[in-house]
């Protein structure tokens, strides 16, 4: 795989605090205006961080935005990882829906993630950096689907975990482009796309299986509990 270019990261605590403050300010500016209208001088002025300090780590605003996007994508990966234990014993079709729903809700709760990951044109550098995290998500999916009932083995070659992540991601981008958010309809369509692909690559007895009545009841209880829990 092509080498991934990595940006220089701050080492000293004081510098880390400055950069973190600048990135947080950049998120606030992105919520208030179009990314095209936000510049590093704007971020420096609003955050109180000298622009020279920012240029040490980001050659331009695209690199700075890419750093924010990668942070959010890493958080999506963490949510997938930590939420996986709650999906143990569900049918793989149900797991697919729940994972797509969870990722979509993250983007809806975090508008800047939607702006930069789903709606902002990526450079080659940004694309390569994000692909590493997407592959990490694919690795987590292999672990999660293995705990399904019946168990599902996602192959590493071809990398089925990463492929289904990309499939769902492409539908999320489409929904964000059309509606500015990921609607319930798009969540359903993304789930259908992933299920359709898995039906082609899983063993026939697994691909044709359906959730049991007990699994259906468990999913209904989980969704009802989630609806009662504040976001």
CA end-to-end span of the chain = 38
* Res. 208: pLDDT tops 70: yes
Residues 71 and 53 in one domain: no
Residues 155 and 50 in one domain: no
Q: Are 223 and 190 in contact (CB under 8 A)?
A: no
Q: Is 1 inside a domain boundary?
A: no
Q: Structural domain tally of the chain? A: 2
Residues 123 and 160 in one domain: yes
Residues 122 and 33 in one domain: no
pTM over cut 0.75? yes
CATH number for 15: 1.10.10
Residues 114 and 133 in one domain: yes
Residues 192 and 162 in one domain: yes
Q: Is 2 inside a domain boundary?
A: no
The answer for residues whose C-beta is within 8 angstroms of residue 197's C-beta and 6 or more apart is 163, 164, 167
The whole-angstrom separation of Cα 32 and Cα 35 is 9
Q: Is 24 inside a domain boundary?
A: yes
Residues 130 and 190 in one domain: yes
Residues 101 and 17 in one domain: no
Residues 89 and 157 in one domain: yes
Q: Is 82 inside a domain boundary?
A: yes
The stretch 50-58 carries a mean pLDDT of 91
Instruction: Compute the Cα dihedral for 22, 28, 29, 30 and give only its sign.
Output: positive
Instruction: Give the model confidence (pLDDT) of 80-94 as tens digits.
Output: 888 888 899 999 999
The whole-angstrom separation of Cα 96 and Cα 163 is 13
pLDDT score at 128: 78
Q: Are 62 and 123 in contact (CB under 8 A)?
A: yes
Per the structure, the complete domain to which residue 74 belongs is given by 66-228
- The answer to which of 42-46, 131-135, 147-151, 184-188 has the lowest mean pLDDT is 131-135
Q: Is 3 inside a domain boundary?
A: no
Please identify which residue in the block is written with the tokens 């080492």: 11
Q: Is 137 inside a domain boundary?
A: yes
Residues 49 and 163 in one domain: no
């Amino acid at each position: 795989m092509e080498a991934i270019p990595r940006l220089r990261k701050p080492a000293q605590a004081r510098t880390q605090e400055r950069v973190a403050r600048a990135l947080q300010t950049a998120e606030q500016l992105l919520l208030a205006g179009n990314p095209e209208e936000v510049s590093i001088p704007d971020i420096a002025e609003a955050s109180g961080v000298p622009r020279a300090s920012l240029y040490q780590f980001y050659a331009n605003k695209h690199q700075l935005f890419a750093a924010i996007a990668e942070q959010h994508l890493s958080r999506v990966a963490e949510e997938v990882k930590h939420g996986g234990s709650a999906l143990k014993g569900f049918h793989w079709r149900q797991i697919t829906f729940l994972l797509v729903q969870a990722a979509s809700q993250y983007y809806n709760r975090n508008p800047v993630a939607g702006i930069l990951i789903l709606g902002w044109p990526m450079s080659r550098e940004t694309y390569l950096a994000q692909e590493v995290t997407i592959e990490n998500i694919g690795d987590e999916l292999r672990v999660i689907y293995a705990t399904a009932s019946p168990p599902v083995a996602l192959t590493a070659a071809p990398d089925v975990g990463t492929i289904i992540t990309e499939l769902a991601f492409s539908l999320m981008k489409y929904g964000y482009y059309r509606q500015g958010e990921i609607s319930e309809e798009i969540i359903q369509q993304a789930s259908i796309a992933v299920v359709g692909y898995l039906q082609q690559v899983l063993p026939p007895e697994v691909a044709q299986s359906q959730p049991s009545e007990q699994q259906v009841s468990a999913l209904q209880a989980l969704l009802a509990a989630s609806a009662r829990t504040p976001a």
